[in-house]
Amino acid sequence: MSDDDAKASSHYRIAQASFTAPRPEPALYLVATPIGNLGDITLRALELIAGADRLACEDTRVTAKLLQRFGIERRATAYHEHNAEEAGDALLADLEAGRSVALVSDAGTPLVSDPGFRLVGAAIERGIPVVPVPGASALLSALQVSGLPSDAFFFAGFLPQKQGARRARLEELARIPGTLIVYEAPHRIAESLADMAAVIGGDRKAAVSRELTKAYETTYRGTLAALATEFAEAERVRGEIVVCVAPAPVAEASAPADADAILRGLLAEMKPAQAAQEAARLTGLPRRDLYRRALDFKSAG
């Protein structure tokens, strides 16, 4: 990009006022963008989006709406999971040539359930400065309004689409010592909540937020079982969704000896698979481990 090109793209507008963005130092800037309400953009983000030598984004059509809103006239380079190698090499070449690159996501913070990890890793390996430009984040916004503990939390991204893999992943996450946060597609939310209720526990408190910062922003709160029923009965669910699940009470954790006693008692009335599932609910221990113990007890007679 020539100096003339950089100057031509360095203006942005807020309401009726026009501003000239300073040209940033050479670096890879990870610029957070609004998750819905475009008014949530930061001044620093506008300066970098307008002033950087190169603007890279996941979807140029989505970013175009942001550029239009703030009067930024410039081209954006598509960088997504399908062209990451080719587009990433071009961006790295610009960075190594001493240019600045602003990387934005479709919404929220780059690299959070979003392409960019490989580009950042490659930049670090080459000694290129990587600069975070904080802003909107769907997972933090959902955690704020969930009413659930926020002193410790674990973000698990999107759950697997197929039920078997999804339940296996939930078993791994069930004992996370903090609030669990996941993203989910609207057409899968009812199934995912049902699986969460079955694997994590139907009485676990949770919150489901949709369309955060937008006109129809809504947060539903209740137990996983109640939320699963509510969404199963909904005619149609729309919008981006974040689910927050409360951590299991500390009192639910049982010592192995106690778990064995519980498991033996259940095996007197249930098959190993059923006993393991019920013991996992009662003790908070992984169902897989309990199932193996159940099979050992059965084989030992």
For 241-258, how does the pLDDT look when each residue is reduced to its tens digit (9 = 90+)? 999 999 987 644 445 667
- Is the pTM higher than 0.85? The answer reads no
Q: Cα separation of 65 and 107, whole Å?
A: 12
Angle at 113 between CA 286 and CA 154, to 5 degrees: 40
Q: What is the pLDDT of residue 122?
A: 94
Q: What is the pLDDT of residue 269?
A: 85
Structure tokens at 254: 């049982």
The DSSP secondary structure of 64-110, one letter per residue, reads: HHHHHHTT-----EE--TTTHHHHHHHHHHHHHTT--EEEE-SSBST
Q: Cα separation of 219 and 213, whole Å?
A: 11
Low pLDDT (below 70) residues in the chain = 1-9, 250-257, 301
Amino acid in position 7: K
Q: What is the maximal distance between C-alpha atoms in the chain?
A: 82
Q: What is the pLDDT of residue 207?
A: 98
Structure tokens at 279: 């013991």
